Amino acid sequence: METSKSGEEKSPKHNTQDSQEEEPKGKSSIKQVTYIVLGVSVLFFIWYIFSERYTPYTDQARVNGLITPITSRVSGNVVSLNIDLHSEVKLGDTLIQLDRKPFEIALKKAEANIDKATQSVAASSSSVKSAAGRLGVAKAQLDRAQRNWDRVQKVLKDNAGALSAADKDQSETALIQALEQVSSAEANLERAKQSLGDSGPGNPNIRGAIQDFEKAKLDLEFATIVAPSSGVIESFDIDLGYYASVGQPLTTLISDTNIWIQADMKENNLSRMHVGDKVKFTFDIAPGKVFIGKVSSLGHGVAADAANKGGLPSIDSKNSWLRDPQRFPIIIGIDDSHELRRIIRIGGQADVVVFTSNNALLNAIASLRIRLNSWLSYVR
């Protein structure tokens, strides 16, 4: 009995000692977890600082391209439609045909007026009519080449580097050739006028008849609306019998020959970025895939207020309790042969990471990050 009592008396003391030993161990575990969390946070902060400059990333990126409203140069009723909504077309394809009869009648009338005017000077008008017709065709070709060159100039002004040098050279060459053809046709027409004799070219009736003939020839050409480039038809909602007015958009053509990505990068991302830097990007339309490109150009200005008189790019900023850094557009070119041409859509969103150095660790982390983003596209 005495032994059991002494054992009972000692047991509370042992319990107190055990609890005192366990308490330091619990505090030590909490400290270890705290140190680990702090260490990971410090490492993440350091990685964030360096990645913002060496491997900048953005999810504010979209696919851009040339969008051309298809308008008519003359007024008339639509008698033939060779397109549907979202149909693919090639350069020079006939899209819409207006009724040619009124223009053919006007052309014949203009031709008759030339005959009537030239009869007064007893000269043959065949050479004049032929030369005038060729001049009309040459001017129509020049008009198309000039409009295409104007579109190229506008794109280059808004987004330098969006178009390849080959596209620019091709458009410029077409414009030069069209100018030369007009000059040659004008020279041929002048020779034809001189063949009428001294009184022929100075006759006001002949000059007026020739101008009317040239206009009638152009109007007949413009009655056939052709594709200015290859691409896809959008915003198409007209039918046979629709009356097309001059300058009124009939449909919209999204060109597939000039497509690029505009990625809006924070200002501090640009400190080490240069044209030619390697880029990896993903699209929601192609989940699980990572594509490779390069920086084509860097933006040098954006609209800072509502009074955007110079037409600078406008960047949407995220609203938060901390001021979002100013963003500038960078352009990522997509080659004509790139497999993306078949799947991407104008306005599609993209995730972009730029590699500005050869740092193996930072580049590996950035590659893993963009790969994870591509997988997340499956569930977005």
Whether the predicted pLDDT of 298 surpasses 50? yes
Average pLDDT over residues 232-239: 89
Percent of the chain with pLDDT over 70: 78
Q: Give me the residues paired with residue 74 across strands.
A: none
Could you tell me if residue 43 is inside a domain? no
Residue 250: per-residue pLDDT: 93
Q: For residue 233, which phi and psi values (nearest 5 degrees)?
A: -85, 130
**Total domains, the chain:** 3
The answer on 12 and 60 residing in a single domain is: no
Write the pLDDT tens digit of every residue in 152-193. 777 777 776 666 777 777 877 888 888 888 888 788 777 777
Residue 6 banded pLDDT, cuts 50, 70, 90 = very low
Residue 76 has pLDDT above 90, yes or no: yes
Highest mean pLDDT among 11-20, 235-244, 299-308: 235-244
Residue 312 domain boundaries = 51-65+255-376
CA distance to 78, 133, 142, 189, 195, per residue, from 183 (Å): 34, 14, 11, 10, 19
Do 23 and 94 lie in one domain? The reply is no
Candidates 175, 169, 166; CA nearest to 148 is: 175
Q: Which parts of 195-292 fold into alpha helices (H)?
A: 204-222
Please provide the average confidence, as pLDDT, over all residues in the chain: 80
Q: Do 218 and 268 share a structural domain? A: no
How many Å apart are CA 209 and CA 111, to the nearest integer?
Answer: 8
d(CA 254, CA 169): 21
Q: What is the pLDDT confidence band of residue 209, given thresholds at 50, 70 and 90?
A: confident
For residues 153 and 185, membership in a common domain is answered with yes
Is 39 within a domain? no
- Tokens standing for residue 157: 């002004």
- Helices (H) and strands (E) counted in the chain, each on its own, are 6, 12
Same-domain pairing of 16 and 139: no
Alpha carbon 275 to its chain centroid, in Å, reads: 18
Report the greatest alpha carbon distance in the chain.
Answer: 155
Summarised one tens digit per residue, pLDDT across range 125-134 is 566 677 777 8
Distance CA 324, CA 311 (A): 22
Query: Is 136 or 3 the better-scoring residue by pLDDT?
Result: 136
Q: Which of 191, 224, 254 is the last residue of a domain?
A: 254
What is the model's pLDDT at position 219?
94
Q: Residue 142's pLDDT band (boundaries 50, 70, 90)?
A: confident
Q: How high is the pLDDT of residue 371? A: 92
Predicted pLDDT of residue 160: 67
| pLDDT tens sequence across 320-367 | 555 677 888 999 987 655 567 677 888 889 999 999 988 888 899 889
Instruction: Please report, for the domain that includes residue 362, its CATH number.
Output: 2.40.30.170
> Are 147 and 246 in the same domain?
yes
DSSP symbol at 267: G
pLDDT above 80: residue 318: no
> Tell me, what's the pLDDT at 39?
78
Find out whether 315 and 329 touch, Cβ atoms under 8 Å: yes
The answer to whether 257 touches 167, Cβ cutoff 8 Å, is yes
Q: Is the pLDDT of residue 313 over 50?
A: yes
